[in-house]
Amino acid sequence: MSSDLNSHVIRDLVIANRILAREGVIDDFGHVSVRNPANPNRYFIARSRSPEIVSADDIVEFTLEGEPVQAENRRLYIERALHGAIYMARPDVNSVVHHHARSILPFTITELPLKPVFHMAAVIGAEVPKWDSQDEFGDTNMLIDDLPKGHSVARALGDGSTVVLRGHGAVCVAPGLAAACFLSVYMMENARVLLETLPHGNPVYLTSGEVEQTAKLLLSDVPMNRAWDYYKARAGFPGI
């Protein structure tokens, strides 16, 4: 892998970190990773650091088992098993976001279904599956801090693009960083709209045909570029 490709990927990962902070998806905790395009058995993610202040120097390369490729003595994210386990299970996935966006939390601690009610959210899939650490692991520190928990979440994710974790947050996966940010933002927005709608009656959800057609269109070139340019400008990278 050339260092040019490396620096390009790392730059985009830094931008994605800043975007997820700027758009209110991630605050002090949560993270985003990208698979190494030159070696599918490696991925990049920041050392333990809030996305809003991540720089290129903070990016570390890991094996899918969660070991740093080069010796590293800085603090590392405790939950990186989540990323590795998903990259193992899903060759089509090249970026993983883990966040605690507040609007999705009510759906993780009630029976409320999390389904798209407006077109931009079609990308989250017809219905978001739910994962509860109690089911397999009982009382824990709530973190996905080892591979068995990572594999368990990956199974709940299945072949979809999103999964929520009880009393914790969400995971969004996509073929690339731009789509992963897009998914994360609109998952959060859709949840917010649902919370504001439900007190007033049952909403009309998108039909499965609408979800499929709209998601396909939104993840295509024109919309994805528009969103990425917008996110980058707002996150402080207008000319890149």
Cβ 207 to a copy of itself shortest distance, Å: 6
Name which of 32 and 206 has its Cβ closer to a copy of itself: 206
Name which of 2 and 73 has its Cβ closer to a copy of itself: 73
Name which of 7 and 207 has its Cβ closer to a copy of itself: 207
Cβ 84 to a copy of itself shortest distance, Å: 18
Cα–Cα distance, 162 to 172 (Å, whole number): 5
Interface with a copy of itself (CB under 8 A): 27-29, 48-50, 52-53, 75, 78, 100, 102-103, 105-106, 108-112, 117-120, 122, 134, 138-143, 166-169, 189, 192-193, 195-207, 209-210, 213-214, 216-217, 222-223, 225-227, 229-231, 233-234, 238
Q: Are 23 and 231 in contact (CB under 8 A)?
A: yes
What are the CA-CA distances from residue 86 to residues 63, 67, 123 (Å)? 12, 15, 18
Neighbours of 238 (CB within 10 A): 9
Cβ 109 to a copy of itself shortest distance, Å: 4
Cα–Cα distance, 133 to 131 (Å, whole number): 7
Pick the catalytic residue: 23, 61, 65, 79?
79
Name which of 1 and 198 has its Cβ closer to a copy of itself: 198
Q: What DSSP state is assigned to residue 152?
A: H
Cβ 193 to a copy of itself shortest distance, Å: 5
Active site residue 79: yes
Name which of 4 and 111 has its Cβ closer to a copy of itself: 111
| b/e burial code for range 44-82 (CB count within 10 A of at least 16 → b) | bbbbbbebeebeeebbbbbebebeeeeeeeeebbebbbb
End-to-end Cα separation, the chain, in angstroms = 22
Residue 230's φ and ψ, nearest 5 degrees, are -65, -50
Cβ 58 to a copy of itself shortest distance, Å: 11
Q: Which residues are catalytic?
A: 79
